[in-house]
Chains A and B, each alone.
Chain A
Amino acid sequence: DTEVTQTPKHLVMGMTNKKSLKCEQHMGHRAMYWYKQKAKKPPELMFVYSYEKLSINESVPSRFSPECPNSSLLNLHLHALQPEDSALYLCASSHPRGQTNTEAFFGQGTRLTVV
């Protein structure tokens, strides 16, 4: 199983809503990532979890709240978002550096629209 599964695939939410994005992998990866991708731009790193602990937060606004409940799951909780937060949100996972197969595997993303 080399899949990273993201749900939902599409999400439309109002600026006062609370929603969550979910990501799951069963490859035994202990590093998990959230990226934000705007149209025709590269993925921008938001958060990295390593061994279920937050290791990188790229100064992301607090309206985005990550959570890693266990080694297979990664959530991104959304609250009071702005229209400019509309984007494709990608989840990825990898082995920690130092192991073989160091590439990241990506999910298909959640297309988020904030209205």
Chain B
Amino acid sequence: AQTVTQSQPEMSVQEAETVTLSCTYDTSESDYYLFWYKQPPSRQMILVIRQEAYKQQNATENRFSVNFQKAAKSFSLKISDSQLGDAAMYFCAYRSANDMRFGAGTRLTVKP
């Protein structure tokens, strides 16, 4: 079974600074997708960024970028120019077929 591991239960960053959230996963499949989702206190799960495993280029969405290392099964999220609105729970997710699994999450605090 696929597993997703987030080893940082909590992270803190100063406003306007950069922070990196870590995620590793375990799979025997070659075709899969990886995501970062954000869940603020409103509890709505919001997609931050997606990465297809067959793409070598790291995905980027405005201030959010990933470092995808397929051989190492690592998928970290970098948030640049952190804003107060980035404070939330961040979940790394793995999808193969119709089976989407989440890591334990990292709670990000942004300090003004």
Give the number of chain B interface residues (Cβ < 8 Å).
23
Question: What are 8 A-B contacts with C-beta separation under 8 Å?
Answer: A43-B102, A88-B43, A90-B45, A92-B100, A97-B33, A97-B95, A97-B98, A109-B44
The answer to whether B25 has its CB under 8 Å from any CB of chain A is no
A15 within 8 A of B: no
A48 to B95, CA, bound (A): 12
B44 to A106, Cβ gap below 8 A? Answer: yes
B47 within 8 A of partner (CB):
yes
Which residues of the partner chain B approach A40 to less than 8 Å between Cβ atoms? Answer: 105
Chain A positions 50-73 with a Cβ under 8 Å from a chain B Cβ: 50, 55-56
Q: Is the interface of B mostly helix, strand, loop or mixed?
A: strand
Partner of A50, one of B43, B45, B98, B102: B98
Q: Find chain A residues with CB under 8 A from B50 CB.
A: 102-103
Asked if B103 contacts A42 (CB within 8 A), the reply is yes
Return A60 CB to nearest CB of chain B, in Å: 14
Q: How large is the interface on A (under 10, 10 to 19, 20 to 34, 35 or more residues)?
A: 20 to 34
Q: Chain A 27-43 against B: per-residue CB contact (8 Å), 1 yes, 0 no?
A: 00001010000001111
Contact with A along B90-112 (1 / 0, CB 8 A): 01000111111111110000000
Contact pick for A102, options B33, B37, B91, B101, CB 8 Å: B33
Those of A95-115 within 8 Å (CB) of chain B: 96-97, 102-106, 108-109
